[in-house]
Amino acid sequence: MRILVVEDQKKIASFIRKGLEERRMIVDVCHDGDDGYHLATTEPYDAIVLDIMLPGRDGLSILKNLRKQGNPVSVILLTARSELDERLEGLNLGADDYLTKPFYIEELIARLHTVVRRSGGEADHLLKVEDLVLDRLHHSVRRAGEEISLSMREYALLEYLMQAPGRVLTRTQICEHVWNYGFDPETNLVDVYIQRLRKKVDQSFDSKLIETVRGVGYRIGNPPT
């Protein structure tokens, strides 16, 4: 999952980032409402962890405007206060859930899985391409029933490819989504990781799933007919 964290307290933001990245999530962090709103409206996220009290735009204002624009991204509100009125206001504006500080990172992770799964359907945590299955909930990958062990970045790369089976993804798109920075034409980072994935996902099987589209990029699975 790709998560946006909008939290002005840098220690809390760092705590959240570390916990989510340990669960193989891609995390963007910003510390004020204006930057958070810009990212939320220009980048694709599976969910947003949104503090209510922020410099610039406050969290409820951000949420209100996202929903007014028809943006369905899952939102979990964070608040240091526990007043019922504030929680109700956030839920009425379209928040999917809320957490009161302090909280355990395990609880936030569980709630993220719940709201994302709810927004996409119960089976949304499973990505399938032929006999390859990636389980986002348990962070596992199997092919023909055989478990495949991947590093955090290999997992993120495979997940990104499997989200669009048959679609050619450029090196620039892969770098921006998996590594969260722009593509450098001098680097072979993407190619190196693709080769690592091939050794684990394709090498022991007759059917090869990961394909190079020369001069363009990579895809997994057959293009749609």
What confidence tens digit (pLDDT) does each residue in 136-186 have? 777 889 999 999 999 988 998 998 898 888 889 898 888 877 886 665 666
State the Cα angle at 52 between 46 and 57, rounded to 5°: 90
Q: In whole angstroms, what is the distance from residue 34 CA to residue 54 CA?
A: 9
HSE-up of 69 (CA within 13 Å, CB side)? 12
Taking CA atoms, 149 is separated from 68, 139, 169, in Å, by 42, 10, 23
49-107 residue pLDDT tens: 999 999 999 999 999 999 999 888 999 999 876 666 677 788 888 998 888 888 889 88
Q: In whole angstroms, what is the distance from residue 115 CA to residue 96 CA?
A: 6
> Which domains are assigned to the chain?
2-120 (3.40.50.2300), 150-220 (1.10.10.10)
Q: Is the pTM of this model over 0.75?
A: no
